[in-house]
Structure 1
């Protein structure tokens, strides 16, 4: 189990920051590459002796995962709706990457790239396999924050890309602060997702909340840009 945990930490630390962008055919290879990686980490987890229950994939806990996930996803939806409805809050939702996104490209993001390439892969890897492996080796709070810390490292490149797209980077120290702040937010989010996974006993709960956060966040950003332009 120690070997699985160490290898997974090392792989996840570099996958989203280095490896995925170098896959042949990127960005088209983003979804299939991450889908294959999802299968591989599940196979490795099962081979190492982790049970479906430890991975949050026990069928008996799907109901609880659904209940927790729907309630928390509803809170995310309410927050996005308020952000779009209140003009003063719209700048907080704005993301230049969503500006001018066509209906086709938006549909691909919402129906394929985010659910399969991002949410499924990240939840299986972090709140499924990594959390379960660390929980075999460490007390539960340390396992939660350990998986969350790696989740923060995972977001270095995406945070840097988002900051650059929205003109939030400036000098070297400024860039470091922006990226550090963005990654810290994802550490906290990772801990919350891990808590939700453990509290519900099902990976479905954080999957639904993560999916709602990313898809509704994208829709809210697109809506904020359209309202600002209109």
Structure 2
């Protein structure tokens, strides 16, 4: 009994270690190599799970036809929601993501067709909807295993959420309630103190806003993890994978479409690279 527990704990620890290493590599060390990193990590997780005696069905590799139909319908729903959002100017602004708009056409295609499916969706679906809940389920009740996996999926997004916050140049201005160049003139100690105080307010505001963004992202992605696992339980891994893929990849197309639709009203169109 003790040997079995130790082996299971070792397998779970190994799986968590693989996920932590992949998270760090994909978000901090070698982002463009994420598809390769994620492929290796996914294969390692499958080997660990299979080595523990888990079946392909346990890992969610079943119901390909049902998964394709369900996932395809959900992907079409995502496309419809994006199209509806783009059709109205008020909601169209939500798609103006500079992280997508700053990319060249080639990089957008790379992100949508390579980085998202192989660098993000593959590992997250097999890891958090397949291997991890199956490994956790050997020691926990089924619902507890799913909840724990969803919580870990939320924590998986801490680094991406921090990147999202640091990429938003308006956070400092909003936090301080001042224009970027206010208080930066030359002068005596009063102006210097104002400059120091402004910087302190900006940094404090950035920390608060970043904390809120990270907490919100963790909570929302943990909830999404529960929804995706329900899909995986009903229709296998393919269903949540297709929904996940559509949500992320179509976002790049939506950002480009939003800019094109808004160009006439802005008077001068910025070049599309």
Q: TM-score surpassing 0.5?
A: yes
| Distance of 2:27 and 2:52 partners within structure 1 | 29
- The one of the two structures with greater contact order (alpha-carbon pairs below 8 A, sep at least 6) is 1
Do 2:22 and 2:37's aligned partners in 1 also have CA atoms closer than 8 Å? no
Give the aligned partner of residue 45 of structure 1: 49
Query: Residue 268 of structure 2 corresponds to which residue in structure 1?
Result: none
Quote the offset at 1:227 in angstroms. Answer: 2.9
Residues 95 and 166 of structure 1 are in contact (CA less than 8 Å); yes or no, is this contact kept in structure 2? Answer: no
RMSD: 1.9
Alpha-carbon distance between aligned partners in 1 of 2:41 and 2:21, rounded to the nearest angstrom: 13
- Determine the structure 2 residue equivalent to 1:66: 68
Compared with structure 1, are the counterparts of its residues 37 and 13 closer, same or farther at alpha carbon in structure 2 (3 Å cutoff)?
closer
Does structure 1 residue 209 correspond to structure 2 residue 243? Answer: yes
1:225 aligned onto 2:229: no
Residues 137, 169 of structure 1: CA spacing in aligned structure 2 closer, same or farther, 3 A cutoff? farther
Paired with 2:18 and 2:123, the residues of 1 have a C-alpha distance of 13
Distance in 1 of aligned mates of 2:18 and 2:170? 29
TM-score, normalised relative to structure 1: 0.89
Count residues in correspondence: 224
Question: TM-score, normalised on structure 2?
Answer: 0.76
- Describe the SS at the equivalent of 2:60: coil
Unmatched 5+ residue regions in structure 1? none
Cα displacement (A) at 1:162: 1.6
Residue aligning to 1:93:
95
Q: Does 1:175 find its partner at 2:190?
A: no
Structure 2 gap ranges (5+): 1-7, 173-204, 265-273
Correspondence 1:55 to 2:59: yes
Larger radius of gyration: 2
Structure 1 stretches of 4+ with a deviation exceeding 6 A read none
In structure 1, C-alpha distance between the alignment counterparts of 2:170 and 2:121, rounded to whole Å? 25
